[in-house]
């Protein structure tokens, strides 16, 4: 059986690394694959750590905005996992998609974002700038590939549990969540689960062709999340002061539009259908206990 070459874009980032980890775990049970981990710097500490943990993974240095160089140096890539980082999502994704198609890549898996459920996500770019950018990328990928025969798969995660890890960013995200109405729920997913789904899609292109899938593991209010955190860790979720959180929400356009959309529309992933399909997606409590970010109290 021929070995398939899978290129993981952003391999040292959270989603990319989770996908490398999940693919490496699948290898003994799937067709032979060769994992290429794309990073902007092969000598960065994160790239070196990835290479040390996964010695069979090939570290590839390159720029997604100049992708032809990547394909010239690494021929016969069969599949790509593509993730982008705001605010330049389209500048990162569109050249990579077009170059991949031109170089005969047979399957592209793009990590996007849920925008209100499967059907609404196709129609609703939303007023959130980076959500709208990912929507345009989805349409470009879907519309460009039928002409060439390249398969596509779109993953649509909800909000990241990992955004609530220790540190200032986690405190700010928790503070923003706390500004929502007490009864308004938020869907969340662990990055580990995004990697698991991505690996499944990459390992079976025919089954996953022309499919868009929302990914989430929990649906809860900030109060419910805070109560869960308190029970497991022993104290409330660390967050910025309310006046700071509301100032960020009022003063930063992207934060304001995001939070307004969460309140008025919000993520709408069918979590039960995901579990029925065999994905053991983590609850928020699972993530707190297993992420390694938090010291869990005895009996938590």
CATH of the domain at 148: 3.40.50.720
In the block, tokens 């596509």 appear at 152
Percent of the chain topping pLDDT 90: 93
* Percent of the chain whose pLDDT exceeds 70: 98
Q: Is the preceding peptide bond at 98 cis, omega within 30 degrees of 0?
A: no
Does 25 fall in a domain?
Answer: yes
Tell me: the pLDDT tens digits for 24-62? 998 766 678 999 999 999 999 999 999 999 999 999 999
Could you please report the per-residue DSSP string of 66-110? SHHHHHHHS----EEEEE--TT-HHHHHHHHHHHHHHTT--EEEE
Q: Is residue 170 part of a domain?
A: no
Which residues, including other chains, have CB under 8 Å from residue 225's CB and lie 6 or more apart? 177, 186, 237, 284
* Number of domains present in the structure of the chain: 1
In a domain, 238, yes or no: no
Report helix, strand or coil for 188. strand
| Residue 181 located in a structural domain | no
Q: Tokens at residue 173, please?
A: 């995200």
Closest to 196 measured CA to CA, from 4, 11, 19: 19
Chain segment 151-171, per-residue pLDDT in tens: 999 999 999 999 999 999 999
Say if 140 falls within a structural domain. yes
Q: Is residue 275 part of a domain?
A: no
The answer for residues whose C-beta is within 8 angstroms of residue 296's C-beta and 6 or more apart is 232, 233, 288, 289
Residue 58: partners with Cβ closer than 8 Å, 6 or more residues away = 34, 35, 36, 37
Domain with 141, as residue range(s), is 4-159+190-215
User: Residue 35: helix, strand or coil by DSSP?
Assistant: strand
Residue 18: count other Cβ atoms within 10 Å of its Cβ: 23
Is residue 102 situated within a structural domain?
yes
Q: What is the pLDDT confidence band of residue 180, given thresholds at 50, 70 and 90?
A: very high
pTM as predicted: 0.96
Find, among 80, 100, 93, the residue nearest to 8 by Cα. Answer: 80
Strand order in the sheet with 218-220: 159-160, 186-189, 218-220
Residue 104 covered by a domain: yes
């Amino acid at each position: 059986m021929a070995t398939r070459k899978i290129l993981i874009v952003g391999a040292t980032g959270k989603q990319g690394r989770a996908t490398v980890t999940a693919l490496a775990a699948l290898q003994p049970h799937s067709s032979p694959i060769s994992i290429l981990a794309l990073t902007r710097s092969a000598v960065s500490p994160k790239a070196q750590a990835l290479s040390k943990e996964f010695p069979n993974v090939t570290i590839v240095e390159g720029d997604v905005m100049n992708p032809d160089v990547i394909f010239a140096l690494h021929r016969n890539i069969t599949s790509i996992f593509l993730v982008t980082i705001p605010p330049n999502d389209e500048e990162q994704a569109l050249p990579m998609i077009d170059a991949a198609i031109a170089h005969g890549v047979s399957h592209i898996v793009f990590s996007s974002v849920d925008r209100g459920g499967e059907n609404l996500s196709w129609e609703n770019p939303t007023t959130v700038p980076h959500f709208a950018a990912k929507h345009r990328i989805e349409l470009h990928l879907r519309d460009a590939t039928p002409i060439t025969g390249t398969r596509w798969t779109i993953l649509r995660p909800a909000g990241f549990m990992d955004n609530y890890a220790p540190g200032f960013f986690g405190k700010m995200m928790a503070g923003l969540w706390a500004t929502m109405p007490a009864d308004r729920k938020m869907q969340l997913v662990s990055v580990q689960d995004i990697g698991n789904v991505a690996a499944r899609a990459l390992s079976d292109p025919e089954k996953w062709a022309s499919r868009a899938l929302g990914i989430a593991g929990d649906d809860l209010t900030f109060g419910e999340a805070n109560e869960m955190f308190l029970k497991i860790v022993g104290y409330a979720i660390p967050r910025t002061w309310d006046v700071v959180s509301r100032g960020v929400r009022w003063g930063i356009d992207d934060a304001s539009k995001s939070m307004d959309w969460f309140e008025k529309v919000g993520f709408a992933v069918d979590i039960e259908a995901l579990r029925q399909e065999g994905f053991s997606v983590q609850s928020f409590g699972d993530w707190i206990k297993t992420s390694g970010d938090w010291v869990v109290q005895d009996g938590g």
